[in-house]
Amino acid sequence: MSSSAPAPKAPKILESSQSAFKCKDCSPINFPVAFSMAFQPIVDFDARNIYAYEALVRGVNGEPASTVLDLADDSNRYALDQGCRVKAIEMASGLGMADTGASLSINFYPNAVYNPATCIQKTLDAASRHNFPLDRLIFEVTEGERVRDQAHLNSIIREYRARGFRVAIDDFGAGYAGLNLLANFQPDILKIDRELTREVHTRLASRVIIRAILDACNALGVQVIAEGVETACELQALRDLGMRYFQGYYFARPGFEHLPGWVN
């Protein structure tokens, strides 16, 4: 990734209030535009391999995620969320991701899941159809919404883990993904937000905070990923703190409809 200006994050799938959804939302709803996926690797630096790929929504010709997400409204957000899950699994399978040993990471919004056992069915059907192993699926709780019902989130986590999925807190340190969320439930994976990793080699406060996050997660048995790594200096500073897993342009940009390799 370029060491000049940080690249903007790809927007994540939007959501609406869980109270707006009923069983009819599981039926197909036409979205205004077709969409596709890009995939960005998450690397295991110790093992020198690609640990997972995060699926990121794009237009069918590689247009930015905003060209799809800006068309979402209360009548189609749930359908878009479900469609993106299915599209990610279909495309990842077609690209041979399961054969690489890498996992597939998909964003989800707790407030858009009205019933965990029901709302996961299309995901399970897609994984079964395309022979994608359930234990290679990671679902990320995004930073973009406040969890309105902690008990509801916990029920989702229990259901997902019972299916063999892993669960991550995305963009930790930004939006609503903070210490309260970590205290209320311990995910399998925690992803540290780019605002903390940016120029971490020059920012003592960031290094102190990241060290504390690592210590807490090690004690809780939570795996930690550093997001948004752009430069060799950032990587070295994070390695010095004990970080093992990384995601960012320094390693690879998102690949539109393909699985990019590890560049550095």
E-state strands within 48-128: 49-59, 103-108
**Arithmetic mean of pLDDT, 63-86:** 86
What counts of helices (H) and strands (E) characterise the chain?
10, 9
- Mean pLDDT computed over every residue of the chain: 84
Q: Which of 53-57, 90-94, 98-102, 174-178 has the lowest average pLDDT? A: 174-178
Pick the range with the lowest mean pLDDT from 2-16, 81-95, 215-229. Answer: 2-16
The answer to whether 87 and 95 have CB atoms below 8 angstroms apart is no
pLDDT (0 to 100) of residue 95: 97
Q: How far apart are CA 79 and CA 21, in angstroms?
A: 10
For position 176, what pLDDT does the model report? 53
- Is beta strand 189-192 parallel, antiparallel or unpaired with respect to 49-59? unpaired
Q: What is the CA radius of gyration of the chain?
A: 18
**Which residues make beta-bridge pairs with 223?**
189
Over residues 4-19, the mean pLDDT reads 37
**Mean pLDDT throughout 37-50?**
97
Confirm if 177 and 45 have CB atoms less than 8 A apart: no
pLDDT tens digits, 210-245 = 999 999 999 999 999 999 999 999 999 999 999 999
CA distances from 230 to 44, 223, 258 (A): 16, 21, 21
The pLDDT assigned to 28 comes to 54
Residue-level pLDDT at 14: 34
User: Do 37 and 58 contact (CB within 8 A), yes or no?
Assistant: yes
Beta strand 49-59 with 35-44 is antiparallel
Judged against a pLDDT cut of 70, whether residue 17 lies above it is answered with no
* Cα–Cα dist 202/68, whole Å: 37
Domains and CATH numbers, the chain: 18-256 (3.20.20.450)
* pLDDT tens column, 186-206: 899 999 999 999 999 999 999
> Which range has highest mean pLDDT (8-17, 24-33, 224-233)?
224-233
Distance of CA 245 to the CA centre of its chain: 14
Dihedral angle, C-alpha 106, 109, 110, 113, nearest 10 ° = -90
The predicted-structure confidence for 119-171, as pLDDT tens digits, reads as follows: 888 899 999 999 999 999 999 886 555 555 677 778 888 888 888 999 998 88
Q: What is the pLDDT of residue 114?
A: 65
Q: Is pLDDT larger for residue 256 or for residue 181?
A: 256
Q: Would you state the pLDDT for residue 9?
A: 40
pLDDT greater than 70 at residue 110: no
- E-only strand ranges, 150-222: 166-172, 189-192
